[in-house]
Structure 1
Amino acid sequence: MAEQGRRAFLTQLVAAPTLALATRAASDALAPATAHAAPAVIPSLPAPADLVDLGELFILAGAPTAHLLVLRVDTDGTIVFRLPREEVGQGLTTAVAMLVAEELDAPLDHVRVELDDARPELLFNQLTGSSNSIRSLYGPVRHTAAAARARLLAAAARQWALPVRNLTTRDGAVHAPDGRTAPYGDLATAAADPALTVLAATPKPESAHTLVGRPTGRVDARAMVTGRQRYTLDLDVPGAKPCVLRRPPTLGGTVTAVANRDAVRAMPGVLDVVTVPTGVAVVAETFGQALDARAALQVSWGPGPADALSDAQIRTRLRAATPPLLVPPLLTPYLDAEFDFAFVSHAPMETNSAVADVRPDRAEIWSGLKSPIIAQQTIAAALGLPLDKVTVHVVQAGGSFGRRLFFDAALEAALVSRACGRPVRLMWTRVDDTRHGRMRPATHHRIRATWALGEVLSFEHRVAAVETDFRHGLGEILTATAASLPAGIGNAGFAQTLFLTTVKSPYHFGLTTQTLTEVPTGIPTGSWRSVYSANTRGAEEVVVDEIAARLGKDPVQFRRTFLKDAAQRAVLDKAATEGQWGRTMPPGCAQGIAFHEEYGSRTACLVEIDTRDPEHVRVTKAVIAADVGRPVNPKGLEAQLLGGLTDAISTTLRAGLHLDKGLPLEGSYSQFHYARQRDTPRDVRVHIMPATGEPGGAGELGVPAAVGAIANAYARATGTRPRSFPLDFDVDFTPYPR
């Protein structure tokens, strides 16, 4: 759907001493409404199920609400944009700053992007996920900045008594034909005058962009590498004292008694010891003192919901829950394959953390949050406070990969602060984060393909997964858009809807069916980068290679034959050509390739692998081609694809969690074998296809194709058929005590 066809934009002047604007993005199918009007009926999507895209659902859910984006121009020329999304390292603040600077013809370093606090009036427009931020913000941000530019031009025109059409903008200033120049800061007050006559504002055509589409370094890069970037635990909140939790020996276990609470309270520096639903919290003058006191606690624990579960029991449950395949392999050749994927930690560099200051009549929370509205609602309910008495500040976070959709630390910190009557700075240790954090669910896959006369007649994929928890706002979004979904999808549950709107085969494979069955276990889970696609499409790409081999076809040519359109084939061809597909490799080394399409974008990944040292299988080269429609910042896009590649190398080769009697054995990076620098390919090339249309999603795009490519390269190098991931999954460490 075209941008103008999908939404109309209404910009209003905000009462302020300098120029401040807010833009509401609303569907052009809706009647005009104020910010306080009831949501209107959501416009319908096209009927065919394969046209439904989760990102479009996000945009539709936000269309009827007060989608207010706030931009301010200060008298010093600084342009401040309030971003209702979370920056977790994906480069979103840089891309948004580029959009603002582009429309205002301002230097990029004049733009400051600040993260908005939780704003419940935004309803469905403050959840960061599903590769949707740039897709949903691209139009609204440009229109907001264009409206600001129009007011600045109008202010200069009135000051100089010149027609607006004779004026231009450049380098953060308005320029007149006679050489006069007015910096934006000098015009900010005049541009805020409600009586100012302003012409309609229209964003630049993409053909006029000079910054957007150009590789650009991150606006926060210097702060991050010099230690000036302030994360949650860097914040100076008056009176907030360090806090850690003693957590149960099994997932979801409960506190039944603390034998030595008073003795621990008497330890040096300890300020309080309180019990909350998730464990026993120690508040102290320093984190070192808090950790010592935590270790000294003698706690009796009640059972958790998954105490009897280990990997073997999980695999048995998943296999039993996998529905049967329907197409009987009676008259045609066929291929059956089954795959298992382990639990995986999100493992962001910054562990869970939050600062909370809870008083009897109000509360203030600081944390890295991707769903701050739901966090605010949940915390307010838990504290028994009105929603407007709970302020939730969104802080830039050091990684997420889906983890910060949940707000465990923020809720815990609020409960601890209330219990001890003082502000607290809660830190999850690395062991806490690895063992008690949410994880990507384990999955089992059953696939059958049939063919005849060189044509694939059917492709069935049955997925059984440990249930994914979506109680972070996604459920509300899907509920809001349910009426607009095609028959079948609209009646599905949250998980089913997400699966059906993200997992699609890009191939003409005859009768194609992909289904999901979820198994409740009580294990804390959450969306992990690419959610269902990483495993599901990764497994499918392995089967595609095996079908090609059965038919005596080259894997690239086989994919070209069955891909659905020219844009897909162009991406595949680019990766194959640039990666020199088919070149001679030494024994034990091989190439692998795979393709994936999602969120309006498509990518192909070619890797080379060296398996000659079984103790250190290594991806030595990777070539990635991606078509994301219109890239705002190609450099940021490259970083996203490299991150997806690294996630795929990690979880395909070595990184996973062993569940043992209700708790993961892994407790640190030394045990959860995420790829180190020595495991990453020395030769990586990313090729971004020429810009067309509007931006597609990119944050999760790179993982599934890379998973398939690595598995396929391993199969070709070793002559085996990989079926269980990660491939090297031994317990080669001594677990930490429970």
Structure 2
Amino acid sequence: MTPQSRADGQGRAPGGGAGRSRRSFLTHLVAAPTLALVTRAGADLLVPQPAHAVVPSLPAIADLVDLGDLFIRAGAPTSTLLVLAVETDGTVRFRLPREEVGQGLTTAVAMLVAEELDTPLATVRVELDDARPELLFNQLTGSSNSIRSLYGPVRQAAATARARLVAAAAAGWNLPVSRLTTANGSVRAPDGRTASYGSLTVAAASPDLIVLGATPKPAARHTLVGTPTNRVDARAMVTGAQRYTLDLDVPGAKPCVVRRPPTLGGAVRAVGNRAAVRAMPGVLDVVTVPTGVAVVAETFGQALDAKAALQVTWGPGPADHLSDPQIRTKLRAAVPPLLVPPLLTPYVDAEFDFAFVSHAPMETNSAIADVRDDRAEIWSGLKSPIVARQTIAAELGLPLDKVKVHVVQAGGSFGRRLFFDAALEAARISKACRRPVKLMWTRVDDTRHGRMRPATHHRIRATHLLGEVLSFEHRVAAAETDFRHGLGEIITATVASLPLGLGNATLAQTLFHTTVKSPYHFGLTTQALTEVPTGIPTASWRSVYSANTRGAEEIVVDELAAATGKDPYRFRRTFLKTDAQRAVLDKVAAEGEWGRAMPPGCAQGIAFHEEYKSRTACLVEIDARDPQRVRVTKAVIAVDVGLPVNPRGLEAQMIGGLTDAISTTLRAGLHLDKGLPLEGSYSQFHWAQQRDTPRDVRVLVLPASGAEPGGAGELGVPAAVGAIANAWARATGSKPRSFPLDFDVDFTPYPR
């Protein structure tokens, strides 16, 4: 039996005080025969203000707020427009205004609901919500923000439902709510009587029921949250029962593929054999859209055959003249000068290049569209469904309320599904051929024509004297990142509303400075970004700017340690700013046996990263004795996310970040050649396979260090990048400067 229900408590969220969110909640019943409610909130974000009248600079302000804080502020007005229902059989249904792309979000949210309702996890169903424009900026999945932003509102919604169920039981038994408790999906009286939630849901839905308010449990009373828990969708995923977009059976939807241009962004000028292709077996239609020539057929095999037979004349794309050498030259030329001259003190200088990288989710881009003259319906894996719905409605010339957009669980994203390219393309094709279509991007399409992480160039200078670091300057030039998927609007609107002098800050600068921060006391520290337009389709990639930027900084930290004659672990420990940072570093050093003897050609590497109110350290061991098959053989990761909701899910996130870092640090990248990536498959892109990943991986989740969870989805990449590069440097005696480290074209590219 759980402790006494707090159904008669004052309705407020935990926390508050300077620098933190304060929420006051009011619940409104949805008209339904059983308990179904929407929890509404008014909220504000308290941002610390400087005591003096000088408006702080953007980097200084970034020390006060991070990107997650901006997202939470943007979503605050609608953050608790959450829909939760309790059915007569005791099933709890929660509509999640976020996307599940494999990160375990539905499991973590189900845990929060089950915890507050005191009901078994198996009774909770978390369903992805359709695009809901009334949520404004509160239906975008990204920036490691979902659990951070949902933690309070989801708990409040569930606690409110529990309060109504307890109040219904109290009214039926003529007992005060203070004498009732809840456990295992039922309300219990002191004399042993019990009433299941299902039996109470009709009475709990009565608008005449008096409920004063509800307060979520304090963390000290959690029995499920904080406990390692298997994913609620794991069995469906491994047995093939999980339904992704192309598994949906939408009446009349026919398979569709697109013949794409030989260079990025190229346009169709003419189709020479349209009639002949349309006459091929099973082909239903051949239509031209802005992105290429679409073929609709009875089967995907027939559509692929017809696509290959097309004879298309193409116009140029915006990046046809660009290959890797030209990109590197443009980025190097765009890096701003360093400010501190290396005149009187010793210094470390370093420059780094990072290649373009594909998101490479397991599920390629896909969507189903059914467009009629007066309405449209779309199904796809979407992380920004509100903007997708608005854009598609405008493209089709339909009123917004005549377009339905359904969010489908997706097989991976890493930032890719922030864009809704497939959904928009499917809508255009469906309109042109006047039939429902089931669009699939091939793997080659996804690798070559999908969006990619921008290439970057980095210039770093650190000066030191007598064991102290006097200055640390980092200048970054990056191919411009496209944020036209909703995230840009969120940042722009939120920054403009802050009383911090940020109104004229550019979107990229705001994102850069609210995510990239040095955790070290390194004297005068400056970090700056310059973006270079290239015409190449880009998108946020897991960790956005941090993976490359902080990864490069952690390499220089090792080189600073060597220049000052210090051990890399001890050097970091000396300069880290907080005890919480040192705790994760100490943990990996101890558990990973930092400094143990290694054979020649093998070495350890260590690195640290902090972002989104969370922190991690990573220690790896590498075997570089075979230059053609460098392998990470062991990894130890310590992570502190404040309050971990599901430690098992957190472990998976950190292992995923490690795998991304192994891939992009050692072998995975895109060669741009005359306006098109050469790579067209996993084998050519050289993503880490099972044989490339360490058999010995330990993720150490530190006990709760805060009252609320921090972000985790992007946390694991930067420290792992630094640790792997540092281990490689020690094993080979070479300084890593260009990534991926092994970047040969050792394959025959597919035809354009």
Q: TM-score range by the shorter chain?
A: over 0.9
**1:243·1:427 contact (CA, 8 Å) conserved in 2?**
yes
2:126 matches 1:113: yes
Could you say which residue in structure 2 is the equivalent of 1:375?
Answer: 388
CA contact (8 A) 1:445 1:462 kept: yes
Aligned to 2:8: none
Partner of 2:40: 24
Counterpart in 2 of 1:728?
Answer: 742
1:188 and 2:204 matched: no
- Which residue does 1:229 correspond to in 2? 242
Measured at CA, do residues 620 and 490 of structure 1 come closer, stay the same or move farther in structure 2, by a change above 3 Å? farther
Q: Aligned-pair RMSD on alpha carbons?
A: 1.2
Confirm whether residue 704 of structure 1 aligns to residue 718 of structure 2.
yes
Residue 397 of structure 2 corresponds to residue 384 of structure 1:
yes
My pick for the range that moved more, 157-166 or 305-314, is 157-166
TM-score by length of 1: 0.97
Relative to structure 1, is the Cα distance of residues 456 and 93 closer, same or farther in structure 2, using a 3 angstrom cutoff?
same
C-alpha offsets along residues 165-218 of structure 1, whole Å, 9 cap, x if unaligned?
Answer: 111111111111222211111111110000011132111111000000000000
The answer (yes or no) to whether the contact 2:272–2:312 under 8 Å persists in 1 is yes
Contact 1:45 1:484 (C-alpha < 8 Å) held by counterparts: no
1:335 partner letter: V
C-alpha deviation, 1:335, in angstroms? 1.0
Give secondary structure in 2 for the equivalent of 1:469.
coil
Query: Hey, what does 2:731 align to over in structure 1?
Result: 717
Secondary structure in structure 2 of the residue aligned to 1:379: helix
Q: Map of 1:419-458 to 2, 5 A cutoff? A: 419-458=432-471
Q: Is the 8 A contact 1:3 1:139 kept in 2?
A: no
Find the aligned partners of 1:444 and 1:46 in 2 and give their Cα distance: 35
Aligned residue for 1:203, secondary structure, equals coil
Q: 5 Å matches for 1:326-475?
A: 326-475=339-488
- Following TM superposition, by how much is the alpha carbon of 1:713 offset from its aligned partner in structure 2, in angstroms? 0.2
Structure 1, residues 501-550: CA drift from partner, whole Å, max 9, x if none? 00000000011000000000100000000000000000000000000001
Q: Output the amino acid matched with 2:484.
A: R
- The AA in structure 1 aligned to 2:548 is N
Structure 2 distance, partners of 1:313, 1:451, is 35
Counterpart in the other structure of 1:655: 668
Structure 2 match to 1:279: 292
Report how far residue 8 of structure 1 moved: 2.1
Residue 499 of structure 1 aligns with which residue?
512
Pairing partner for 2:260 from 247, 253, 262: 247
Q: Spell out the pairing of 1:626-645 with structure 2 (5 A cutoff).
A: 626-645=639-658
Deviates more, 1:125-134 or 1:473-482: 473-482
Q: Secondary structure at the match of 1:199?
A: coil
* Mapped pair 1:11 → 2:27: yes
Letter in 1 for 2:305: D
1:9 CA displacement: 2.1
Q: Secondary structure at the match of 1:450?
A: strand
Letter in 1 for 2:24: A
Stretch moving more, 55-64 or 107-116: 55-64
- Counterpart AA for 1:312: P
2:305 equivalent among 279, 292, 297 = 292
- Answering whether residue 629 of structure 2 is matched by residue 613 of structure 1, we say no
Cα drift, residue 98 of structure 1: 0.1
Residue 703 (structure 2) pairs with residue 690 (structure 1): yes
Instruction: Give the Cα separation in 2 of the matches to 1:382 and 1:404.
Output: 19
Q: CA deviation at 1:575?
A: 0.7
Helix, strand or coil at the partner of 2:697 = strand
Q: In 2, are the aligned partners of 1:600 and 1:628 still within 8 Å (CA)?
A: yes
How far apart, in 2, do the equivalents of 1:248 and 1:55 lie?
A: 38
- Mapped contact 2:547–2:721 kept (Cα < 8 A): yes
CA deviation string 1:236-268 (max 9, x = no partner): 100000000000000000000001111111000
Q: Match of 1:37?
A: none
- Give 3-state SS (helix, strand or coil) of 1:348's partner: coil
User: How far off is 1:46 after superposition?
Assistant: 4.4
- Report the CA distance between 1:160 and its aligned residue: 1.4
Q: Please identify, of 212-221 and 58-67, the stretch whose mean Cα deviation from structure 2 is larger.
A: 58-67
2:337 paired residue among 314, 318, 324: 324
Q: How far apart in 2 are the matches of 1:177 and 1:492?
A: 60
Deviates more, 1:496-505 or 1:477-486: 477-486
- TM (normalized to structure 2)? 0.95
Q: Within the alignment, does 1:527 sit opposite 2:540 as a pair?
A: yes
Query: Is the partner of 1:81 in helix, strand or coil?
Result: strand
Instruction: Give the superposition deviation at 1:484.
Output: 4.9
Q: Does the alignment pair 1:136 with 2:149?
A: yes
* Whole-Å separation in 2 of the counterparts to 1:613 and 1:25: 59
For residue 608 of structure 2, the aligned residue among 595, 609, 627 is 595
Verify: 1:554 aligned to 2:545, yes or no.
no
One-letter amino acid matched to 1:709: A
Give the unaligned 5+ runs of structure 2.
1-12, 51-59
Q: Tell me if the contact between 1:254 and 1:302 (Cα under 8 Å) persists in the aligned partners.
A: yes
Q: Which residue of 1 aligns with 2:56?
A: none
Q: Aligned AA for 1:8?
A: S
Alpha-carbon deviations, 1:8-65, whole Å to 9, x = none?
22221111111011112321x5xxxxxxxxxxxx754545521221000000011134
Change (3 A) 1:100 1:46: farther
**Any conservation in 1 of the 2:80–2:157 contact (CA below 8 Å)?**
no
Letter in 2 for 1:692: S
Deviations 1:704-724 (A, max 9, x none): 000000000000001000000
1:3 to 1:240, Cα distance in 2 relative to 1, 3 A: farther
Task: Work out the CA distance in 2 between the residues paired with 1:433 and 1:100.
Answer: 36
* AA partner of residue 346 (structure 2): P
In structure 1, the residue corresponding to 2:685 is in which secondary structure? coil
CA distances 1:549-576 after superposition (whole Å, capped 9, x unpaired): 0100000110011100110011100010
The offset of 1:490, in angstroms, is 4.1
Percent of matched pairs sharing the same residue: 83
Cα distance in 2 for residues equivalent to 1:429 and 1:304: 21
Q: Partners of 2:266 and 2:540 in 1: how far apart?
A: 22
Amino acid in structure 2 at the alignment position of 1:665:
L
